[in-house]
A = this chain, B = another copy of it.
Amino acid sequence: MTPSAADVARTEPLAAFLARTRARVDEALERYLPRPPACPPLMSEAMRYSVFAGGKRFRPILTLAAADAVARGADAAALPAACAIELIHTYSLIHDDLPAMDNDTLRRGRPTLHVVYGDGIAILAGDGLQAEAFALLAREPDDAALAGRRLRVLQLVAEAAGSIGMVGGQAIDLQAAGQAPGNRVELDAGGLRGMHARKTGALIRASAMSGAVMAGAGEDAVRAADRYAADLGLAFQIVDDILDVEGEAGQLGKTAGKDAAAAKPTYPALFGLDRSRTLAAECIARAHAALEEARLADGWLGAIADWILHRKS
């Protein structure tokens, strides 16, 4: 039996845990994705191009760490949910990169999917990945005793991905960027927070909750995982905004960041860099407190929170 995440937490550095877990997620994704001849070869290629593009696997790592925090060694039951959420995240990046949305041509140093395969196939690859995510959740783990947990996770993930969650947040983002019908929508601090709560927060919360649910968590632990992840997700976004300003200024020394160039509302723009750093640190402090209260502080979740706060990329 391989050691659970919590068993090795005191001796294994976070970086080793992250690398090991990424490899485990990649191996599972490889197994779960459909192949030719059932899947047309072009679709298979296009989906794999984006799924194996060197992502951090932040969401599936969160799912597995939450499962392990609830019940050591229980994370195997959460592996399909972890991978399904990563498929949804990947599809959202493909669609967000399209010319009709953010019009990004590079991601992690590689051309985006639509640049290589065209907009039509990129739209379809995204659509296909979303469907695969739900097919995977419906199929695995193939254990009737877990049917109730699987249905709950299906609902959590579908609602987080949908128009009351991620997709709704992206629509608000388009309105704030003046790319939707009607007047450009100006976001104040509350509006910005609400947009991020939907666009990235909802799926991050579903990631942690899904892990907890699959590990058999009680309602208190599920709620604690939710509160932890809500603050983690907000910190993640604030740090993203900070890195966009600092990275550009520090590395390029001349042009403003991408967000500023796109006139996107950001935390540094609304609050300044110092106050933004304080806000992110306060989120992470609350995330730790949620873990302590629910006795979930023993595994990797706390170290992941600190990683998010201090990451440089």
Contacts and interface: CB of A to CB of B under 8 A. Distances in A.
B138 A151 contact: yes
Q: Give the dominant DSSP class at A's interface.
A: helix
The interface size bin for chain A is 35 or more
Contact of A131 (B125, B137, B161): B161
Contact of A124 (B119, B155, B174): B174
Interface in A128-156: 128, 130-132, 134-135, 137-139, 144, 147-148, 150-152, 154-155
Interface string A93-128: 001001011000000000000001111110111111
Contacts of A100: 118-120, 123
A39 to B, nearest CB: 5
Contacts of A235: none
A121 to B, nearest CB: 5
A216 interface: no
Nearest to A165: B131
A136 to B, nearest CB: 8
- Most chain B CB inside 10 Å of its own CB: which residue of A42, A44, A121, A135: A135
Interface in A32-53: 34, 38-40, 42-44, 47
Nearest to A130: B130
